[in-house]
Amino acid sequence: MKKIFAIVFVVSLLSSSHTFGGTEGSEEIKTSSADYTVNECFEGTSRAIFAFNQGLDKAIFKPISKGYRMLPLGLRKGTSNFIGNLRSLLTFSNNILQGDFKRAGNTAGRFAINSTVGILGIFDPAAHFGLEKRDREDFGQTLGYWGSGSGCYFVLPILGPTTTRDAVGLVGNVFLDPVYHITHNSEVMDRSYSEHNYYYYRGTDSVDFRAKNIESFDSLEKNSMDLYASFKSLYLQDRNKKIANSDTIIDTQNDSDWEEIDSN
């Protein structure tokens, strides 16, 4: 179990920039005063940790992401598609656990087509076959689907905003992610994969995601009277939307475009 929690910590570190991810125009977010609230534990401590995380982001994640943005667009797009194709395996596991076999079929079909015709997921021909990209699924969402309440909201060092349910979900993701098991426990097609390949995959995903986030994050920071409260509201709204598998536009406190808002 110590190894499990160490892995969760490292993966969450790599994924912390995913907590609020911007995009190059995938989903519109409109201004609203809508407020999603849950019980909050240790708000004063969470605000202090939030400020620490903001400083860490500006010192490390944002500069790395800006460097990544200097790569050719085609290379970044292919990398994003490849990583997203691997990440869909975790989504598929959670589709099954939620009993959503229609979405599971969509996820499996996209993975099969993009892994073959799309050259290991670098391209997305599945979209031309009517298999559109759906939101990511994780075990925290599955727990919510099963009826688990969000529990207490709090902010962790480096890991960022979470709830009791989503923190448990991070541990569950380790057990459910086929990519983790392929790189840690087995040989596939007579090839063995080292553990560091898993962290390359998660780290690249994190950098790619943060690179899409730069303008949206800056806009939110500039226009929010209380950045901590804005992040909290945006995070909780997005988690509720994903648990409900809603396709509606998220009402938030800014009008930037965002892709995904999660750290899983």
pLDDT: which is higher, 195 or 69: 69
- The predicted model gives 125-138 an average pLDDT of 92
Q: Where are the domains of the chain?
A: 38-90+139-244
User: Which position has the token pair 């541990």?
Assistant: 171
- Place 15 in a pLDDT band, splitting at 50, 70 and 90: very low
Residue 210 has pLDDT above 50, yes or no: yes
* Average of per-residue pLDDT values in the chain: 80
Q: What is the pTM of this model?
A: 0.77
Digit-coded pLDDT (tens) for 155-188: 988 878 999 999 999 999 988 998 888 887 665 5
